[in-house]
């Protein structure tokens, strides 16, 4: 082998080795901050009664449900906070929902990272999300143009698919709550 | 110091990456749905560009010509990954908004382009200023497109309502076709301005051979 071949190879090797080392260090340094950022402010916002949250294993095989937390206050269960994914118009909707001891929805937070500003993104606003608060449907929540019955959620104008996706997701989680969490506890 | 200022002016105006060089168009089209995203993406790309320009310039005599592109990419990718970690840790909301476009900075032609065209041939300090200039130019173009799209498409500027409530947002402008429309109109306006300037260009005095030039008609000698 002549010099022309191995000099570039070795130099490139040195560059990649150093880059790899630096990345390792950067990873170690930032990992703590990344973990710390996974804070429970979203959980607290949807289940205000809880003082602390305990992670619960997701039971059953539902890949839409990402994380389940048990809300605890003074050693007693005050409800559940569930992080799940629903289908938006363009991409997933990341939703955190709180369900209190009385089976009522205590709060909801939604992120629609891929949806269009002014349309699907409107679902992130409290005007839409607060509709879910206090609901405890006997059967299923439905989407309506103008909500009249207690089990209806008013769709966002121009973002029917995202609204429906959010409502379907909530129905799925309520079902999971009834069968896996509430049923399993007692 | 004059040279450094010249680099910045060059990046922002003379060789503006979007409107003059017309490279790195994907982020300009894709993430300019709001001013906030535009600024975030612009700053992220600028930081990577400054870092990669500096390191590549330092290593310009060490990197063999034959493997310069893989070397550049390794250096750029390292900076992007570090930035990715930092944003995940310290600015998670912005990180979520920019999504896939952070890792895609690796293949942003602006950054590789500056490495190849400038940093690999010039000293580190000037390369840093080149990075700042080009980065600012990129941010500026993103913000211009983002401002127009956000105001027309959502009636807001940086998330604040600027148009009266009675205004119905023109949703097509914030959806992908709107990106092309906005950018196309902007480019047309800028070309028109540049065209007017060309006519008053007195530097060219010899027009021999102009008849074979593809730019005849656009240039002074029509």
Q: Give the rounded distance of the alpha carbon of A47 from its chain centre.
A: 14
Shortest CA gap B90–chain A (Å): 7
pLDDT digits (tens, 9 = 90+) for B28-72: 998 898 898 899 889 989 999 999 999 999 999 999 998 999 999
Cβ contact A19–B77 (<8 Å): yes
* Whole-number pLDDT of residue B160: 87
* pLDDT attached to residue B110: 92
Long-range contacts formed by B185-191: CB under 8 A, 24+ apart: B186/B19, B186/B144, B186/B145, B186/B148, B187/B19, B187/B22, B190/B19
According to DSSP, residue B65 is labeled G
A117 neighbourhood in chain B, CB within 8 Å: 33-34, 150, 153-154, 174
Report DSSP letters for B182-222, one per residue. Answer: HHHHHHHHHHHHHHHHHHT--S----TTGGG-TTTTTSS--
Residue in B with minimal Cα distance to A158: B171
Given a cut of 80, whether residue B4 has pLDDT beyond it is: yes
Q: Is the pLDDT of residue A186 over 50?
A: no
Distance from CA of B103 to the nearest CA of A (A): 14
Task: Give the span between the Cα atoms of A59 and B186, in whole angstroms.
Answer: 54
| CA B92 and chain centroid, separation | 24
A116 closest CB neighbour out of B67, B71, B175: B175
Quickly count: other Cβ atoms within 10 Å of residue A150's Cβ.
11
Task: Tell me the ipTM for this assembly.
Answer: 0.73
Helix crossing, B68-90 with B35-58: angle to 10°?
Answer: 140
Q: Does B66 touch chain A (CB under 8 A)?
A: yes
For residue B221, name the pLDDT band (cuts at 50, 70, 90): low
pLDDT at position B150 over 60: yes
pLDDT higher at A16 or B100: A16
pLDDT reported for residue A121? 83
Q: How confident is the model at residue B79, as a pLDDT? A: 92
Residue-level pLDDT at B222: 45
Confidence at residue B191, expressed as pLDDT on a 0 to 100 scale: 85
| B66 with A114: Cβ contact below 8 A | no
Domain positions in chain B: 2-149
Q: What are the pLDDT digits (tens) for A92-118?
A: 888 899 888 888 889 888 888 788 777
Task: Please state, in angstroms and rounded to a whole number, the distance separating the CA atoms of residues B70 and B155.
Answer: 44
Q: Across the interface, which of B33, B64, B78 has its CB nearest the CB of A8? A: B64
The Cβ-side half-sphere exposure at B108, using a 13 Å CA radius, reads 35
Segment B155-161 long-range contacts (CB within 8 Å, at least 24 positions apart) = B155/A118, B156/B34, B157/B35, B158/B34, B158/B35, B158/B36, B159/B34, B159/B35, B159/B36
Q: pLDDT tens across A120-144, in order?
A: 888 888 888 888 888 876 778 888 8
pLDDT of residue B42: 92
pLDDT at B71: 94
DSSP state of B28: H
**Rounded Cα–Cα distance for residues A95 and A81 (Å):** 10
Percentage of chain B lying above the pLDDT 70 cut: 89
In 10 A of CB A121, how many CB atoms? Answer: 24
Q: Could you tell me if A21 lies within 8 Å of chain B, comparing CB atoms?
A: no
pLDDT the model gives residue B1: 64
A21-55 pLDDT per residue, tens: 999 999 998 888 777 766 677 788 888 888 888 88
Q: What angle do CA B115, B48, B90 make, to 5 degrees?
A: 170
Does pLDDT of A169 surpass 70?
Answer: yes
Please state, in angstroms and rounded to a whole number, the distance separating the CA atoms of residues A42 and A38: 9
Residue B202 pLDDT: 55
pLDDT at res. A128: 87
Gyration radius (Cα) of chain B, Å: 20
For B161-219, the pLDDT digits (tens) are 888 888 888 888 988 999 999 999 999 998 888 877 765 555 566 666 676 776 666 66
- Letter string b/e over residues B33-63, b meaning 16 or more CB atoms within 10 A of that residue's CB: bbbbbbbbbbbbbbbbbbbbbbbbbebbeeb
N-terminal to C-terminal alpha carbon distance within chain A: 74
Average pLDDT, chain A: 84
Domain ranges of chain A: 1-38, 41-185
Question: What confidence tens digit (pLDDT) does each residue in A54-95 have?
Answer: 888 887 777 888 888 888 888 888 888 888 888 888 888 888
Residue B151: pLDDT over 60: yes
Q: What is the pLDDT of residues B79-133, one digit of tens each?
A: 999 988 888 888 877 787 777 778 888 888 899 999 999 999 999 999 999 999 9
Q: Is A112 exposed, middle or buried (0-12, 13-18, 19+ CB in 10 A)?
A: buried
**Binary contact (B66, A23; C-beta < 8 A):** no
A118: nearest CA partner in chain B: B154
The reported pLDDT for the residue numbered B200 is 53
């Amino acid at each position: 082998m002549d010099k022309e071949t191995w000099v570039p190879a070795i130099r490139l090797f040195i560059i990649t080795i150093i880059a790899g080392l630096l990345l390792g260090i950067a990873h170690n340094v930032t990992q703590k901050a990344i973990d710390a950022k996974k804070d429970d402010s979203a959980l607290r916002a949807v289940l205000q009664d809880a003082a602390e949250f305990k992670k619960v294993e997701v039971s059953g095989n539902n890949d839409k449900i990402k994380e389940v937390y048990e809300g605890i206050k003074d050693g007693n269960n005050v409800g559940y906070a569930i992080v799940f994914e629903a289908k938006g118009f363009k991409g997933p909707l990341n939703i955190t929902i709180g369900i209190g001891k009385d089976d009522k929805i205590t709060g909801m937070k939604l992120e629609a990272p891929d949806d269009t500003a002014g349309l699907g993104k409107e679902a992130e606003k409290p005007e839409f999300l607060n509709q879910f608060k206090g609901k405890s449907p006997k059967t299923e929540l439905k989407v309506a143009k103008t909500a009249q019955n207690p089990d209806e959620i008013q769709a966002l104008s121009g973002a029917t698919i995202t609204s429906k996706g959010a409502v379907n997701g909530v129905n799925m989680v309520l079902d999971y709550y009834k069968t896996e969490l509430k049923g399993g506890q007692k | 110091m004059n040279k450094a200022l010249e680099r910045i002016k060059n990046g922002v105006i003379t060789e503006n990456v979007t409107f003059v060089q017309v490279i790195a168009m994907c982020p300009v089209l894709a993430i300019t749905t709001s001013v906030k995203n535009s600024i975030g993406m612009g700053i992220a790309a600028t930081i990577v560009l400054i870092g990669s320009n500096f390191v590549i310039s330092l290593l310009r005599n060490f990197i063999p010509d034959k493997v310069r592109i893989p070397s550049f990419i390794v250096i750029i990718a390292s900076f992007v990954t570090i930035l990715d970690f930092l944003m995940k840790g310290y600015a998670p909301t912005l990180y979520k908004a920019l999504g896939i476009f952070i890792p895609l900075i690796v293949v942003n032609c602006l950054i590789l382009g500056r490495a190849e065209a400038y940093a690999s041939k010039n000293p580190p300090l000037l390369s840093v200023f080149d990075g700042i200039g080009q980065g600012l130019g990129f941010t500026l173009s993103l913000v211009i497109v983002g401002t127009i799209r956000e105001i027309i498409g959502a009636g807001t500027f940086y998330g604040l309502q600027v148009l009266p409530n009675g205004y119905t947002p023109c949703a097509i402008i914030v959806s992908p076709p709107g990106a092309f429309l906005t950018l196309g109109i902007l480019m047309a306006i800028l070309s028109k301005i540049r065209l007017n300037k060309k006519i008053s260009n007195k530097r060219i005095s010899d027009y021999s051979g102009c008849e074979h030039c593809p730019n005849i008609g656009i240039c002074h000698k029509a």
